[in-house]
């Protein structure tokens, strides 16, 4: 009598195996270690997977891109890199105002503001957090703005924009300078937007 053995169904690549219920937590712990040691640019999804003892596809399954994983690892309150394509797709003449308005309107949300203040304080005063956040912003945000400008000094222009908006966020939400903290979003956009626009295109 011939016995037929039914082969086990193939596991889809990137799906967790039975008994891997803690894989997501292990990946997150590995990501924090890898980002801390290698920085944002130096960390790779493959290295994170190796630390966690999982297939690299499983890292993508749970977290998507490296930027997504980093955002979760630092509990990022907002993802300007995800909003950037829409901002850049709008009219060139008011891009400066769109950038400032997006950031301020997002930070006016209580949960974003609370988490954002914690992240800003850490970025300013923590020797590990500062280069990590700088690497993320440089790779995922500033370089993309610079490429969109299509000018030789695009990186400098994008960095000047970052310095302007970072200063506004720190002064308004961390230091809470009275006049700035009490000003409306519309007023700040009207005053700061043209400066950001000049950094971008003048």
Give residue-wise pLDDT tens across range 58-110.
Answer: 999 999 988 888 878 777 777 888 888 888 888 999 999 999 999 999 999 98
Choice between 43 and 161, residue whose per-residue pLDDT is larger: 161
pLDDT in tens, 148-202: 998 999 999 999 999 999 899 999 999 999 999 999 999 999 999 999 999 999 8
First to last CA, the chain: 85
Query: Which residues are CB-neighbours of 78 under 8 A, at least 6 positions away?
Result: 103, 106, 107, 112, 116
Q: Yes or no: is domain 80-201 CATH 1.10.357.10?
A: yes
Instruction: Write the CA distances from 8 to 11, 26, 148, integer angstroms.
Output: 9, 27, 50
- Mean pLDDT, range 23-28, rounded to an integer: 90
Q: Rounded to an integer, what distance in angstroms lies between the CA atom of residue 126 and that of residue 134? A: 12
Same fold, 1-73 and 80-201: no
The two tokens of residue 23 are 């894989």
Angle at 121 between CA 118 and CA 126, to 5 degrees: 115
Spatial contact of 67 and 43, defined as CB atoms under 8 Å apart: no
Using pLDDT thresholds of 50, 70 and 90, give the confidence band for residue 130. Answer: confident
pLDDT in tens, 6-20: 344 344 444 555 445
Q: What is the pLDDT of residue 126?
A: 66
Q: Rounded to an integer, what distance in angstroms lies between the CA atom of residue 56 and that of residue 158? A: 33
Q: Rounded to an integer, what distance in angstroms lies between the CA atom of residue 137 and that of residue 152? A: 20
Q: Rounded to an integer, what distance in angstroms lies between the CA atom of residue 110 and that of residue 145? A: 28
Q: Diameter of the chain by CA atoms?
A: 89
What residue spans define the domains of the chain?
A: 1-73, 80-201
Positions of E strands within 67-189 = none
Instruction: Write the CA distances from 121 to 88, 116, 169, 176, 183, integer angstroms.
Output: 28, 9, 11, 13, 22
Query: 1-73: what fold?
Result: Arc Repressor Mutant, subunit A (1.10.10)
| Percent of the residues in the chain that have a pLDDT greater than 90, as a whole number | 46
- Mean pLDDT, range 28-36, rounded to an integer: 83
């Amino acid at each position: 009598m011939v016995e037929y053995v039914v082969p086990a169904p193939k596991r889809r690549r990137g799906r967790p195996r039975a008994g891997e219920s803690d894989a997501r937590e292990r990946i997150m712990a590995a990501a924090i270690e890898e980002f801390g040691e290698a920085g944002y640019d130096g960390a790779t999804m493959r290295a994170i997977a190796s630390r966690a003892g999982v297939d690299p596809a499983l890292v993508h399954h749970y977290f998507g891109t490296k930027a997504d994983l980093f955002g979760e690892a630092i509990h990022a309150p907002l993802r300007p890199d995800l909003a950037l394509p829409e901002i850049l797709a709008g009219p060139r003449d008011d891009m400066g105002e769109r950038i400032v308005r997006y950031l301020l309107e997002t930070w006016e949300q209580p949960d974003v503001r609370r988490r954002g203040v914690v992240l800003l304080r850490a970025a300013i005063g923590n020797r590990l957090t500062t280069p990590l956040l700088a690497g993320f912003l440089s790779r995922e945000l500033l370089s993309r703005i610079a490429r969109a400008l299509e000018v030789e000094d695009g990186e400098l222009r994008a960095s000047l924009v970052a310095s302007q908006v970072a200063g506004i966020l720190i002064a308004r939400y961390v230091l809470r300078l009275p006049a700035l903290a009490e000003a409306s979003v519309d007023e700040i956009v009207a005053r700061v937007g043209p400066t950001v626009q000049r950094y971008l295109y003048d």
